[in-house]
Amino acid sequence: MEFIKPGINIDFLGRRKIAFVISLALIIATFFLLIWRGGPNYGVDFSGGVLIQAKLDSPQNPGAIRDALRSVDLQDSIIQEFGAESGNEYLIRVRRTDIQLAGLSERVKQALVAAFGKGVEIRRVEMVGPKVGKDLRQKALFAIFYAILFIAIYISGRFELKWLMSIVMALSLAFVVYLASGLGLSITWLILIALAVTLGLCWFLNLRYAMGAILALIHDVIITLGAFALTDREISLAIIAALLTIVGYSLNDTIVVFDRIRENLSRFRRRSFEEIMNASINETLSRTLLTSMTTLVVVVALFVLGGGVIHDFAFAILVGIIVGTYSSIFVASPILLIWEGRGSNRGKLGRGGSLR
């Protein structure tokens, strides 16, 4: 099925500077938002505490709900609307972990009934200890990092036939992480050091395709986190699953484009590298848009009709698909061109389809 007729020739790489400015602005805005809000808005899964989901008969102001909970010593709760506005459902999040869970549901219900009348329904009560939340947060960060690392290894072997270099990179990185962990650094610093070392090794070992793919994936994850910071949504285990899904989806688009670039490099040896890359992006554009739009239809349906439980998950996937499709064209591919450093000069085909 052809969504876009063959022969289209859009100069995507000619607009790469505009795309880089947009991406840089979004990344800077993300960091600004995260600093302003004091970091990501971790859910109970990661921060520890008690989460109560309550449904009321009529809409109420979060401040009124907080005042109603004063009788059960939960006046310091964070109250958020949950699901559709007409649902009158609220999340009551308490960061304290010294609360007795036994009978809590009934005490909260009685406090809300006393303030707002009958029709109060407590739908769930969850509690996570601080140590469990910290462990889950560390494992989630490592899951995202290792996903990106193994992707770099696969891309290097798949497109540049440098499996040995990929293994060297993995072993070197493991050694660096081992040394850094021995210094007692926090998990956040470990991840940042590991990512910096990964990118440095890609540069030093001349793993060009891997560099483009990794930077595109980091770009997608950061901007998705920025969307969550902008809308003040919680980062939970479900959102980590969504981020890993985004990494896989974005990589799939990037691999399709990279594969066509490699094929065209061997077919059109006399064309400039930029022309070959533009032609490759245009040739895969129909497939990319069809895949993205059909996936978006499903995700939008989940976002609108799926209910509050998966609302944030669907939101993350929705943002990730849009950003991932954009990055495959305007981030991953231009990075190859920048690395080549020859602009419109001719690219040469190296062994196994790599550039040299």
Q: pLDDT by residue (tens digit) across 9-36?
A: 788 888 888 999 999 999 999 999 988 9
Asked whether residue 227 carries a pLDDT value surpassing 90, the answer given is yes
pLDDT tens track for 74-111:
777 778 777 666 677 888 887 766 677 677 888 888 88
Spell out the domain ranges in the chain: 13-42+132-353, 49-128
Asked whether residue 137 carries a pLDDT value surpassing 80, the answer given is no
CATH tag, 49-128:
3.30.70.3400
Q: For all residues of the chain together, what is the average pLDDT?
A: 80
Rounded CA-CA distance 294/314 in Å is 15
Rounded CA-CA distance 39/228 in Å is 11
**CA nearest 62: which of 92, 94, 106?**
92
Helices (H), the chain: 16-36, 44-47, 62-68, 104-116, 130-160, 163-182, 187-204, 208-231, 237-267, 273-305, 311-327, 333-340
Question: Which amino acid belongs to residue 335?
Answer: I
Domain 13-42+132-353 falls in which CATH fold?
Multidrug efflux transporter AcrB transmembrane fold (1.20.1640)
Q: What percent of the chain has pLDDT over 70?
A: 85
Asked whether residue 225 carries a pLDDT value surpassing 70, the answer given is yes
